[in-house]
Amino acid sequence: MPQHPTTVEVDILDKEYLVACPDEARESLRQAARHLDAKMREIRASGKVFGTERIAVMAALNITHDMLEQNTMSDAATGLLRTMESKLDNALGDSKTGT
């Protein structure tokens, strides 16, 4: 039987929002809202950006940038691991043929 979305209340920058989401995603949604709230408060506290909409856009850009950097680092780590695996395979292959 499909899960019906429930409404979850989240607070972001002193405003309450009702968001529909499946029961199994409630905690993830709350965690995402806390993260967004923290980023928006950080931007607001800097005093460089004014207006809730602008603060939200800057927070979204910062979060997206962080996410893309993590993906890039993951890709770089994957490439490094593949290179190391290849070198290890070559080294093991060389020692196997030498025995």
What class does CATH assign to 6-98? alpha beta
pLDDT of residue 2: 54
Give phi and psi for 12, each to the nearest 5: -135, 120
Average pLDDT, the chain: 85
Q: For the chain, what are the domain ranges? A: 6-98
Tell me the per-residue pLDDT of 14-27, one tens digit each, with 9 for 90 and over.
Answer: 999 999 999 999 99
pLDDT tens-digit profile, the chain (99 residues)? 455 678 999 999 999 999 999 999 999 999 999 999 999 999 999 999 899 999 999 999 999 999 888 888 787 777 777 888 888 877 777 555 444
